[in-house]
Amino acid sequence: MNATQALPSAGFMTRLGASGRSPEIPEAADLYGWLVGSWELDVLHYRAVDVRERRIQGEAHFGWVLEGRAIQDVWIMPRCSVRHPELDKTNNMYGTTLRVWDPTIQAWRIDWISPVTGHREHQIGRRIDKEIVQLGARGDGTATRWRFTEITADSFHWIGEALRNDGQTWKLEGEFRARRIR
């Protein structure tokens, strides 16, 4: 494959991206616009394993898409600068989330896919107190909860959890500390 085939056409990227939020989304409902931009990630837990000692770093990039009706991101771990074709799938993530405002439920419909592992999630996102909480389930029915906590203009704490079989206890599966790249 040559470089022309590997990169999307300028027309595609121009049509996908948007300069900001659509007026169809009320300002008070804009839970994700603050994320637009690029972030560096410290990976603390991944796949329920404490990986702090490995000092894995990642990156995430967010932008408005589809005429400002959605926020799309790309989460990458490890960072692009250290990725190579022989990466073990255990600590390898290169996926995307599409968050679309749905006025009929006054919440965000969220779809995540990681082609590296085939992992998919469907969730609904809402603000709960000072956090953004996304609740949903995997294809196998496992309930999931993803949270943006400790949110500032330049940082956030992201926590991903799955409901244990007891139906009451959440198991930590992923945890990232993010800092905005200026």
Report the alpha-carbon distance of residue 14 to residue 178 in Å, rounded: 27
Give residue 3's pLDDT. 46
Extended strands (E) in the chain:
37-46, 49-50, 57-65, 70-77, 93-102, 107-114, 119-128, 131-137, 143-149, 155-163, 170-181
Q: Does residue 12 sit within a domain? A: no
Q: Does residue 3 sit within a domain? A: no
Quote the DSSP letter at residue 79.
-
Listed residue (34, 94, 28) closest to 63, CA to CA: 34
Listed residue (174, 179, 143) closest to 44, CA to CA: 174
Q: Does residue 122 sit within a domain? A: yes
Give residue 144's pLDDT. 96
Report the alpha-carbon distance of residue 160 to residue 77 in Å, rounded: 15
Identity of the amino acid at 182: R
What is the reported pTM? Answer: 0.89
Give residue 7's pLDDT. 60
Q: Does residue 104 sit within a domain? A: yes
Q: Does residue 11 sit within a domain? A: no
Structure confidence at residue 74 as a pLDDT band (50, 70, 90): very high
Report the alpha-carbon distance of residue 43 to residue 129 in Å, rounded: 25
Q: What is the CATH number of the domain that holds 120?
A: 2.40.128.20
Q: Does residue 2 sit within a domain? A: no
Cβ-contact 142, 119 below 8 angstroms: no
Q: How many domains does the chain have?
A: 1
Quote the DSSP letter at residue 25.
S
Mean pLDDT in residue range 107-128: 94
Query: Exposed, middle or buried, 87 (CB in 10 Å: 0-12/13-18/19+)?
Result: middle
What is the residue range of 72's domain? 19-181
Q: Does residue 163 sit within a domain? A: yes
Q: Does residue 116 sit within a domain? A: yes
- The 10s digit of each residue's pLDDT in 136-173 is 999 899 999 999 999 999 999 999 999 999 999 999 99
Identity of the amino acid at 40: E
